[in-house]
């Protein structure tokens, strides 16, 4: 039991030290990779509008090829 607690404490210390040095444990995606991941499910692409409540890109799909905005952001 003591060994498990010590391992847990050590793990948290290592994670804390790495995050305080500005190093991330997970690789960051480039803007292009994020865009590709965002619109892979949409047939004609994802809406380009920004949600007022969150400040993030709208997750709705556009209806027609060549459209940039969904039905809510026309």
Sign of CA dihedral 43, 45, 51, 54: positive
Measured in degrees and rounded to the nearest 5, phi and psi for residue 46 equal: -100, 150
Q: Which residues on neighbouring strands pair with residue 50, listed in sequence order?
A: 57
Residue recorded with tokens 């210390």: 13
What are the residue boundaries of the structural domains of the chain, listed by start? Answer: 40-74
**pLDDT tens across 8-39, in order?**
777 777 776 666 555 555 555 555 555 555 54
Q: Does residue 3 register a pLDDT over 70? A: yes
């Amino acid at each position: 039991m003591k060994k498990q607690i010590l391992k847990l404490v050590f793990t948290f210390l290592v994670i804390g030290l790495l995050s305080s040095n500005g190093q991330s444990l997970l690789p960051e995606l480039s803007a292009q990779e994020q865009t590709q991941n965002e619109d892979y499910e949409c047939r004609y692409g994802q809406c380009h509008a920004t949600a007022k409540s969150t400040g993030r890109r709208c997750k709705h799909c556009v209806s027609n090829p060549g459209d940039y905005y969904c039905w809510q952001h026309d």
